[in-house]
Structure 1
Amino acid sequence: MKIKICGITCEKEIEYLNILKPDYIGFVFTKSKRQISAFDAKFLRKKLNPEIKCVGVFKDNSLIEINNVLKKVNLDVVQLHGSENFDFINLLKKNENHKFEIWKALSINNKIFLNEYVSYYMRMKNNCVMDNILIDGCNPGSGETYSLAPFKEIIKKECDLNNDFKFILAGGITPENVLLKIKEANPWGVDVSSGVEDINKDGVTMKSFDKMKVLINKIR
């Protein structure tokens, strides 16, 4: 089970992550309370344990914007959260200067979009330009939970949920419910952000070492 901690913004969080060693961490390069600049992400990336992979999160950014970030920050994965279509993803994948995976995030509430991408992902298998699919709620990063029923309905048409479909589960995951979520969905990995946050003594919201430790230990 792969673990991604998303929305990293400061050096203290990097210190925590170097101890806890999730599989992936995420930098958000689109409008969000956790948005970070390429300059700051580059600095934090250099502080990060090289065994931990880095994901850059984008939402309807232009190809130029994404490529500019890729020139500055060593990203292992580009995660697309917007309305990016197959043509856009193909163009992005053709970037010859950087080798990275592409993860496409899909909202559980957009059944048409969800069905289209899941069907394509399963049909293309190893020839797919997307390396992974991430299933999220309608408000990424909000911590809101949601029903997996629409997703399971689509999956039944395409494959055996227990064997064939590799995806990442995000949205409303906490140390308290992570094992239940995994049992219900059987994902390849989980993506957590607000579920492992606290407000520190200065009134700043940041990742909690204790919450991340509990979550990671439960999974592993």
Structure 2
Amino acid sequence: MVVNLYPISHYEFGPKETKVEKDSSVPAHFDRLREIFQKEGMRTSVAGVLLVQEHDYPHLLLLKKIGETFKNLPGGRLKPGENGRILNFHLFSMINYLIIGVLGYPNLLFVLLFFNLTEIEGLKRKLTSKLGPRLQNLVPNWEIGECVARWWRPNFENFMYPHCPAHIKKPKECRVLYMVHLSDREYFEVPKNLKLFAVPMFDLYDNAQAYGPVISSIPEQISRFEFRMNN
């Protein structure tokens, strides 16, 4: 799979209104996660892997809240209706039942597409919220590509794993990372209380202390792609 990367100088950046954070602290975040779990079950969140190139080398776009040190991928929590594992289960069952009637067996491709489509629409919404311009006609046509990884939070704590431990029957969160293919020129608007960084892959790799296990593993997870540096 070839991924086209363009110089960061091809992209324009402007400010927009401050993005109000729902959680004032890490304990507050897990308190809210606990409330969500009690009402809706496992939380599903999505994040975009947006790449640019500088000096013919891949860089990952990360957001950081002003006054904090930890950087994050653009994304966020899906609404209950955007989680393909919850929404429209009866519709999914009906359509697949019809497919079985025609083909004589369930269509695995349809199953995978069904589970991914609502996640993708949710990711587009979150990317627009975090990086999209206020003018609708300037919002990028987000091209969501391959699923890069799925991470699991077994308990109400910071630790996430690239697999769900066998003894955990009710994980608290699933975080899904998707490659986002950027066109050669875009205009982004960043909330005033956030800063956008282009971080080189060599700084991320095996650097969980600075970026956490999810982000620091991205260089390894995307090594299967071929990157084409466009100038």
Give the TM-score range, shorter chain: under 0.3
CA radius of gyration, larger in: 2
Structure that is richer in strand per residue: 2
Q: TM-score, normalising length from structure 2? A: 0.22
Compare the two structures and name the one with the higher helix fraction: 1
Relative contact order higher in (CA < 8 Å, ≥ 6 apart): 2
